Amino acid sequence: MRWILATLLSVFAAQAPNLQNLPPAYPRVGATKILDNARVQVWSIAWLKGNPSPMHRHIYDLLGIYYSPGDRIIISPEGEKRPVSTKAGQPIFQKRGVTHIEEGVSDKPLKAVFVELKEDGPSGKVVKPAEGAPGTMRDIGTKQLLDSERGTIWAYSYGFGPDGPRHRHDVDTVVIWILDDGPHVAWVPAGTIHSEENVGVISEATVIEIK
């Protein structure tokens, strides 16, 4: 009996995925790196129909925004399949360690920009404002989409042209805006004071403050 049990356990172990040697989520088909520095790496991602990802593990906490709606199937390491439909404008915070396969199933692919956070936890880096400095994202009436232990996501929208209110960034920030040719991003260091998130192109953006 013990021999039979040991044999069965060894068979199950051989058939199970080796979760310790999985690749990271990115790079992969449909994912392009668009910014990389000491604190973050940023990916433009499309979940393409008929192109399932390999089984992978997310090795970083991440923040992001979906900007084009779509559907996908998420497959767990145990083989469980879960259909997911995501709307444009939905923010995300995901802790590292998530392990799965993802496959786009809609003709028009789901698209997003994900900011992977290289540090293990919040840095606590804050640049104190000078006396008389303008307000922050919160102070100028920008809509908060998400707040988490790793960062805060804001929707910045002030119409066309450099007409947004002057404001400051006390923490390192990633700014994302979507143009006809796809997503563009900018790194805004803590301590920056300016009046336009998108350098006058279009004053509508997603602003991700890194804690």
pLDDT of 89-105, one tens digit each? 999 999 999 999 999 99
Assess whether 28 and 106 both reside in one domain: yes
Those residues whose C-beta lies under 8 Å from the C-beta of residue 72, and which sit 6 or more positions away, are: 47, 83, 84, 86, 102, 103, 104, 105, 106, 110
CA atoms within 13 A on the CB side of 69: 5
pLDDT of 115-160, one tens digit each? 999 999 999 999 999 889 999 999 988 999 999 999 999 999 876 5
Assess whether 174 and 112 both reside in one domain: no
* Residue whose entry in the numeric block shows the structure tokens 């790793």: 150
Assess whether 26 and 103 both reside in one domain: yes
Q: What pTM did the predictor assign?
A: 0.87
Domain count, the chain: 2
